[in-house]
Chain A
């Protein structure tokens, strides 16, 4: 009999980086790397549980931008082409490292795993991973949460209620189209909560969301059980809080498992170590070195010296870390059980791309955690968040506190001296879209197409990723250009609609380039809900 529940929540997200206008796009590689490193390995782990009869539960948020890219034929074919080039590189690497046994073993390993990924992508998933996630949900093992349409950071858009309503409403509609049912949960991008956003979640029938720890602990009135039980916002939407202890064990790059010296070093890739002449066909066409995924070293220590990666040693460590994670949860539960009138829940949310991409051994660690929980009968049972609410429908009412899981726990990551300039633009754009929607509630024909495209451009400008990247100064120029480009397109579309002079050729170009949400309902941006 279980004494407590553990809810592992993986948040899978990438911004919309589809670039049909380029033959080779640096940014599209983020998707290709994540498919090879994270999404297919995670699916393999989860499908392995089903095959072996392991009863498991996982809550997953899969954002509309990522889902749209996974379903996009152009990106699917480009991914396959890239994957096949990597398999070709594996062949070359096996030859090149013939006299270096420690690297040759790894080249052989990458060759095998890339071929397995190829086999899965082409034959098992028919190039579309969404169906596999949907099947796991239909089996009742995985619960997929909805998310804001383009992962906008909602607290800083809340100046315009219609902007937040559009992000949530279009995200939920997209979920229904992709997964064939209504979502129960909603992942607030960056766990960004402000009092009142739950009312908009409730408008869409959403039952729960997940907040950073202090979103719950600073709730008013004070939540009695901290993050170990959900609270109900006054809207009736349940809010679960991130467990800080389990988060630190996995998240922290300093004290967390992924920083262990036996694990694979992410930052040493042959793309940066080998002669350009040799590596050129496998990096960007312009000679820009980008990761190939062939990484031969382990973390070793803090200095520059790195030892060769030894997969067997890393695998042993992943198993030890899984045992450690479980034993610490057991201690937590020993403390919690006597002082709660119910079985506590430990909510452990992570970015999905941590598993496999950043932390190469992450999927193996997850595999061990879930299999050991199943075999040990330890008293911890995996649950999805909606299962816990079904088990415990009575919860304390409290208004969560303004919060996010960004630096310092509030808005600073997305609002500071580097990226503050985007908010006057985003707020004005939202007002403009609201005016367009209000003035054309029943648009048809060309105006309808223009308004749908205007809504797409607004959503794409609102992605939290751009402000994040500008702040982190990584690909900042790209993020600046994306923000400006979408806002300019929206502005021109608005002018065209309002002056009755829509440039059809230009509109068609935009529709094929920024093609997210083909069925979008622009009326979500009306200033009142009845539009």
Chain B
């Protein structure tokens, strides 16, 4: 395995539990259903946890506590839901499968003592996992923006319009509440779906290697 190179002993494996480093946990999405978490822990932080009343480091369980903070300004107590993942602190990183895509998560790395109390070592960045399919169509209107160059600057104008109206630009600017209620043409709505289906045949650059990787 490769250790982090931020040490002169780059080619020697070194523990990520160290008294000289800052404790941190970092969350990275892999795909809509999988995230990667890595952490580094300062040994003094572990010592602090060890002296919590009535417990020892040896008997506590390292945890990743996941907070679903989708559409929430997280204050530590207002997550939509939470779940815990038991980990081995020495493993340095973990992959966690998720059931639902398109969610925001924050992770806390910590130790759970036998009395159920949780000692937090570090809190991660916020990650929003990717979408796995197109969003449902929730509105018959869409926001258009007119953005064009005017000499050296860009001017931006917002325009609300009904989709698929076939309207030319000036008509869109004059969109009225009546036009907003126009029923969309169902055929046009299938464009996104059609692209998705073609895409799902799995065309990606992986099928043909990059030049540097052919031999």
Query: Chain A interface (Cβ within 8 Å of chain B)?
Result: 13-15, 17, 27, 30, 33-34, 155-156, 159, 190, 195, 207, 212-214, 216-228, 232, 236, 238, 241, 243-245, 247-248, 251-254, 256, 258, 266, 290-291, 336, 339-341, 351, 353-354, 357-358, 389-390, 393-398, 401-403, 405-413, 415-416, 420-425, 427-429, 432, 465, 468-469, 472, 474-475, 480, 483-484, 487-488, 491
Asked, given contacts A253-B207, A401-B131, whether A339 binds B154 with beta carbons under 8 Å apart, the answer is no
Report how far A131 CA is from B207 CA in the complex, Å.
Answer: 33
Among B131, B165, B205, chain A packs the most CB atoms within 10 A around the CB of B205
| Contact partners of B166 in chain A: CB under 8 A | 341
Q: B192 and A423: CB pair below 8 A? A: no
Q: Which 8 A-B pairs give the minimum distances between C-beta atoms?
A: A402-B130, A244-B198, A226-B191, A393-B148, A226-B195, A410-B31, A213-B199, A421-B2
Q: A424 and B208: CB pair below 8 A? A: no
- Contact residue among A256, A393, A415 (Cβ-Cβ distance under 8 Å from B147): A393
- Contact residue among A225, A390, A415 (Cβ-Cβ distance under 8 Å from B28): A415
Q: Mark B49-93, 1 if CB is under 8 A from A, else 0.
A: 000000000000000000000000000000000000000000001
Report how far A14 CA is from B28 CA in the complex, Å.
Answer: 26
Chain B residue, CB-CB nearest to A193: B130
| Contact partners of A219 in chain B: CB under 8 A | 135
Asked, given contacts A221-B135, A244-B195, whether A413 binds B206 with beta carbons under 8 Å apart, the answer is yes
Asked, given contacts A339-B191, A401-B131, A405-B204, whether A474 binds B214 with beta carbons under 8 Å apart, the answer is yes
Report how far A465 CA is from B210 CA in the complex, Å.
Answer: 9
Report how far A86 CA is from B71 CA in the complex, Å.
Answer: 61
Asked, given contacts A424-B40, A428-B4, A475-B213, whether A394 binds B194 with beta carbons under 8 Å apart, the answer is no
| Contact partners of B100 in chain A: CB under 8 A | none
Report how far A488 CA is from B132 CA in the complex, Å.
Answer: 38
For the complex with contacts A420-B93, A468-B213, 13 further pairs of A-B residues with Cβ separation under 8 Å are A17-B212, A217-B134, A221-B137, A225-B188, A225-B191, A227-B195, A244-B195, A244-B199, A251-B207, A420-B36, A421-B2, A424-B38, A465-B212
Chain B residue, CB-CB nearest to A218: B131
Report how far A393 CA is from B31 CA in the complex, Å.
Answer: 33
| Contact partners of A429 in chain B: CB under 8 A | 6
A2 CB → nearest B CB, Å: 17
Q: A424 and B198: CB pair below 8 A? A: no
Report how far A159 CA is from B24 CA in the complex, Å.
Answer: 12
Q: B165 and A341: CB pair below 8 A? A: yes
| Contact partners of A13 in chain B: CB under 8 A | 210
Q: B147 and A232: CB pair below 8 A? A: yes
Q: Mark B163-191, 1 if CB is under 8 A from A, else 0.
A: 11111110010000000000001011101
B160 CB → nearest A CB, Å: 10
A137 CB → nearest B CB, Å: 18
Interface status of B145 (Cβ within 8 A of chain A): yes
Report how far A190 CA is from B128 CA in the complex, Å.
Answer: 20
Q: A218 and B133: CB pair below 8 A? A: yes
B165 CB → nearest A CB, Å: 7
Q: B5 and A351: CB pair below 8 A? A: no
| Contact partners of B208 in chain A: CB under 8 A | 251-253, 256, 258, 351, 354, 358
| Contact partners of A395 in chain B: CB under 8 A | 144-145, 147
- Contact residue among B1, B128, B192, B198 (Cβ-Cβ distance under 8 Å from A402): B128
| Contact partners of A195 in chain B: CB under 8 A | 128
Among B169, B192, B212, chain A packs the most CB atoms within 10 A around the CB of B212
Can you list 22 A-B contacts (CB < 8 A)?
A: A14-B212, A15-B212, A212-B204, A217-B196, A218-B130, A218-B196, A221-B139, A222-B134, A222-B136, A222-B137, A224-B142, A224-B189, A238-B147, A251-B204, A251-B205, A253-B207, A394-B172, A406-B206, A413-B206, A425-B4, A474-B213, A484-B5
| Contact partners of B40 in chain A: CB under 8 A | 424
Q: B188 and A224: CB pair below 8 A? A: yes
A164 CB → nearest B CB, Å: 13
| Contact partners of B149 in chain A: CB under 8 A | 390
Asked, given contacts A33-B211, A159-B28, A484-B10, whether A340 binds B198 with beta carbons under 8 Å apart, the answer is no
Report how far A416 CA is from B95 CA in the complex, Å.
Answer: 9
A146 CB → nearest B CB, Å: 17
Chain A residue, CB-CB nearest to B132: A218
Q: A353 and B147: CB pair below 8 A? A: no
Asked, given contacts A248-B203, A410-B30, A427-B26, whether A397 binds B143 with beta carbons under 8 Å apart, the answer is yes
A216 CB → nearest B CB, Å: 8
Chain A residue, CB-CB nearest to B206: A407
Asked, given contacts A410-B30, A410-B31, whether A241 binds B195 with beta carbons under 8 Å apart, the answer is yes
A168 CB → nearest B CB, Å: 18
Q: B142 and A397: CB pair below 8 A? A: yes
